[in-house]
A and B are shown apart, each in its own frame.
Chain A
């Protein structure tokens, strides 16, 4: 059985990925090309006893060495032993697709053309002469409609046939002749270069000589370099420079632009010859749609509706879905509680605590899976439909004012600009931003958006500290809560925009910029499979984050929160208290008939656990039959906790309640003491001298430290610090009310101003570790990774200090400080929007363009 490799090449949106999925099914994996952040998709299929590996190359308009995508594509085509290259063409736009095809032919790869989107072409009244095209280009042409699998078999046949005919030599003679015809003005120069190259043994065998000649004539830096290396001399490179200079002097035109223009015209000419457009020039569907969707007035309006729809579907409807997910997660927790070592009266087995801690941490995150799924599916719909570039088109003007890019929008939506997102996929999605400077500005500010995980803390603090009603002009009485929510929702944007601008004027000043040139792809109806696949892929990424990093950090936090633990003296102290309480209980129930089975401490413990089990049952809304069945497990105990009529049962229950209350107070005290002593507690205390200016006490410090693992931890750590459950181990971490009450009760000094400072810190808070790692991957630099961590930390601390210390000095409450801060941020944003640095962007562009002298390149036709 032989193994073959084929590659898919094509311009963006020609349907490459669709062909790839159709050929390989679900058998595929994604990796990055070495050294660059360009994705490499590999899959395979089996056919007639043959395994064929398929590589989906990145979309490329051309094969120059300017962009990483094009360089990667070129390298694979040149160096990998490919038995066929499928060039996917958009049949509805033949001319545009052929521009790349001509370059592929020049590279003399074993080419098969998949003429995709035949359905779109037909609906536009475009007929194509497939045979004629095949003859003209000297390559097999297969018409396909890949979304419906049409032409798939024929394509596979063509791949199978390809390996039989080895027409490379024939090909190259013909293509060499073709070049000289295609580039008449450069014919003599190309001929000379070809002869020189053909004399080089090393080069001739590895590369098509005529292609090398063209690349040398184009002045392609990568090819020049590799020729220099391979031949070990500058001779060829120098000669190429001379020929280029001579060409330029003669024609007043740079050779590479001449060559590209000739290819464009050749593509247009072939397209004209082989496509028959019936009927008059009908305006394409997408263009008619854009007349509305990119309209001066309706465009932004529609965009607003889309954003609202996003918000509504993922956060309102998605939130409803979590009501279905939570019982499953809670059920899993109960199951674990059941199989773990049981708690003692005041002894909680460490292993039990540990497993439940991990489960709680993971559950808090998994609870969001439905929201994420909806969110990511909606984003996939936006991407596949082709609307995303329209958003970039509409918003570029605004975003650019702040050093960002129209194409930052996708990342910003993923990151949570609409309230709730995740910085990890958002950072990954910056890959599409062509301009390095705005890409970095986007990456560095994305974590300041409100990711999904920051929300629970906001909701917690808002519901405790902002309960009053305020009277607003026009609106009348409004609850502070809704105002604060709007504040938090919008303030992150008021951070992101000016900070992005400041960064791009300072630390990013010298980064490379690129012109904004983007194709508007035609609209497509997204396919179910495509959307589902992408949504699952991104949700999976999120789940992986939970199962790996978050869990790992949860383990570390657990250790830091539990050790060194109580001193032996304190342990003995609590033991003694417990013995006393148990003895008191046993004495009080002595001689009562129902209490016959209550003799030892173990019996008391089982009664308590029985009572708790029953309470949980009631809380979960169990049916009477289930309750009865539970009672039958221990009728005597059931009598005590259930029988309201018998005087005896009532009195025992009274005593039991006392004991239970003692137990929970003691457990809380122990836990508090343990955290007090713990490593993290000490660290939180050590930070207090600084953090007090921001209004953070040591508990808040501990919570903030825990968010570095994942933002969700803020609430669960606070939950652990403000324990006051009746049951000890069975923390109601899902029950927000309890934690809110607990926090309010135990933190009397905490005011709305404290809460406001904490929320603002949380907005800026350094990115969680998974995000930091994503930033490392996307920037490929440790320096930026560290910057992305420490810069927001510092900024967040300063902001919190400003709000808290400033607010205290002026005697403001949290709400007053909030809107004053908002006005400051808003003014800063507006100032930044109008502040123009010495036109960095333009100056650089001009410089780049003027380098080769000031002239117009035209007259290529």
Chain B
């Protein structure tokens, strides 16, 4: 549905570097986490921009369609993204 013309790599959100962009493929597991992330705007299909890591390295802040969300790397690891090169 949304073809990426450029080369793409599958990663987790925690692995993106600041400035990189990825499309959310899905959220691993099935607990509260996935529901919370979707409620906050990080739903499968959305384009997420990794904005920054906190000064001490964790948590991270991402932007998805105007929603600015911070989450710890522990949680970000569950979010699978397709990195847009």
Residue numbers of A with Cβ under 8 A of B are 61-62, 64, 66, 92-93, 95-96, 99, 254, 256-257, 260-261, 264-265, 268, 286-287, 290-291, 294-297, 299-300, 389, 393-394, 396-398, 400, 406, 514-522, 841-842, 845-846, 848-861
Contacts and interface: CB of A to CB of B under 8 A. Distances in A.
A519 B68 contact: yes
Given A264-B41, A515-B71, A287 B51 contact: yes
B16 interface: no
7 contacts: A95-B66, A257-B34, A297-B55, A299-B55, A406-B59, A516-B59, A519-B40
Given A517-B70, A848-B31, A859-B26, A265 B43 contact: yes
Interface string B31-68: 11111111111011110000111111111010101111
B59 A851 contact: no
A389 B58 CA distance: 14
A858 B26 contact: yes
Given A257-B34, A257-B44, A845-B74, 14 more contacts: A66-B32, A93-B66, A96-B66, A254-B30, A290-B51, A296-B53, A297-B55, A396-B54, A397-B57, A515-B74, A846-B29, A849-B31, A850-B29, A856-B80
B19 to A, nearest CB: 11
B39 A861 contact: no
B58 A518 contact: no
Closest A-B pairs by Cβ, 4 of them: A858-B26, A849-B29, A852-B30, A264-B43
A286 B26 CA distance: 28
Contacts of A396: 54, 58-59, 72
A394 B2 CA distance: 35
Nearest to A93: B66
B35 A856 contact: no
Given A61-B39, A265-B43, A519-B68, A398 B30 contact: no
A430 to B, nearest CB: 19
Per DSSP, chain B at the interface is mixed
Given A260-B43, A268-B65, A393 B59 contact: yes
Contacts of B39: 61-62, 64, 99, 260
B45 A261 contact: yes
A857 B67 CA distance: 21
Contacts of B80: 856, 858
Interface of B: 1-2, 25-41, 43-46, 51-59, 61, 63, 65-72, 74-75, 78, 80
A850 B34 CA distance: 12
A419 B66 CA distance: 38
B54 A849 contact: no
Interface centre among A61, A286, A393, A851 (most CB of B within 10 A): A393
Contacts of A853: 30
Contacts of B59: 393, 396-397, 406, 516
A854 B31 CA distance: 11
B30 to A, nearest CB: 4
A69 B32 CA distance: 15
A268 B67 CA distance: 12
B72 A516 contact: yes
Contacts of B56: 394, 397-398
Contacts of B31: 845, 848-849, 851-852
B43 A519 contact: no
A520 B61 contact: yes
Contacts of B67: 93, 95-96, 519
B75 A516 contact: yes
A260 B36 CA distance: 10
Contact of A66 (B26, B35, B68, B70): B35
A846 B30 CA distance: 10
A517 B35 CA distance: 11
A257 B44 CA distance: 9
A389 B70 contact: yes
Contact of A294 (B27, B37, B44, B52): B52
A856 B28 contact: yes
A290 B68 CA distance: 11
Nearest to B30: A852
Given A515-B75, A852-B30, A856-B25, A261 B38 contact: yes
A175 B80 CA distance: 33
Interface centre among B41, B57, B69 (most CB of A within 10 A): B41
A845 B34 CA distance: 12
Contacts of B54: 294, 299, 393-394, 396-397
Given A396-B59, A859-B26, A264 B71 contact: no
Given A96-B41, A261-B38, A261-B45, A294 B75 contact: no
Nearest to A856: B26
Contacts of A857: 26-28, 30, 34, 44
Given A300-B55, A517-B36, A861 B41 contact: no
Contacts of A841: 74
B35 A295 contact: no
A300 B55 CA distance: 7
Nearest to B43: A264
A75 B73 CA distance: 34
Contacts of A855: 28, 30
Contact of B1 (A516, A521, A858, A861): A861
A287 B63 contact: yes
A853 B53 CA distance: 31
A633 B37 CA distance: 80
A517 B69 contact: yes
B25 to A, nearest CB: 5
B24 to A, nearest CB: 8
Nearest to B1: A861
Contacts of A398: 56
Given A515-B71, A850-B29, A264 B38 contact: yes
A310 B27 CA distance: 41
A296 B71 contact: no
Contacts of B70: 389, 393, 516-520
A346 B19 CA distance: 81
Contact of A393 (B35, B61, B63): B61
Contacts of A859: 26, 44
Nearest to A261: B43
Contacts of A93: 66-67
A423 to B, nearest CB: 27
B80 to A, nearest CB: 6
A62 B42 CA distance: 13
A836 to B, nearest CB: 13
A319 B75 CA distance: 45
